Amino acid sequence: ETGVTQTPRHLVMGMTNKKSLKCEQHLGHNAMYWYKQSAKKPLELMFVYSLEERVENNSVPSRFSPECPNSSHLFLHLHTLQPEDSALYLCASSQEFGGTGELFFGEGSRLTVL
Amino acid sequence: AQSVTQLGSHVSVSEGALVLLRCNYSSSVPPYLFWYVQYPNQGLQLLLKYTSAATLVKGINGFEAEFKKSETSFHLTKPSAHMSDAAEYFCAGRSGNTPLVFGKGTRLSVIA
């Protein structure tokens, strides 16, 4: 495996379910990110972790709960979601937070909330 | 704070024609600027980046972009469009140790 891997690629859940999205990076990076991509909207930064510490939390509803157990793994725990939460959730990593380094993205997890 | 504006949500060109995708930034300090491409059902892939070295930056797949401070622009160009260039393109930027901010994206269609 190389790069940034996201699982599952597709997820359908009801509003009362609890599920998790998983992201794993094999690049030796120190920063990891969750973005939300909805139709007709810019990419929305949700969370940033740098060296396993959360450094950004952009007013995301508490029904989204991130977890970063180590620098290679990032989770997004989902519970009691709303239909408007249906979107493509993208994970990314970078060597460090900020600076000149680019983000490397996974292929995304397409979430549909019924 | 850094912000990025992409002019035109959809651009359509003929195969073989010049591709020009526009991006303007606003920043109180010199920015770092990036162009990404997203193909259907995939994540974003870096095309090129500007980090205050050369103002003309060459990227993958024949794309290049020029940083123009006087115009606060970082437009993406390719001399000759190919069918495989059809995708969504995102301009992004940051200043210092701040999160990367993305534009709304421009969908490029290539007509045979």
What pLDDT was estimated at residue B27? Answer: 74
Residue in chain B closest to A98 (alpha carbons) equals B97
**B87 SS3 class:** strand
Among A17-31, A37-51, B40-54, top mean pLDDT goes to A17-31
Q: How far is CA A45 from CA A37, B48, B50, in A?
A: 9, 21, 21
Checking if the pLDDT of B18 tops 80, the result is yes
Checking if the pLDDT of A1 tops 60, the result is no
- Tell which A residues from 31 to 70 touch B, by Cβ distance under 8 Å: 33, 41-43, 45, 48, 56
Confidence of residue B52 (pLDDT cuts 50, 70, 90): confident
B84 in contact with A, Cβ within 8 Å: no
B35 contacts B47 by C-beta, under 8 angstroms: yes
Contacts of A15 (CB under 8 A, 6+ apart): A80, A81, A82, A83, A113, A114
What pLDDT was estimated at residue B35? Answer: 97
Checking if the pLDDT of B29 tops 70, the result is no
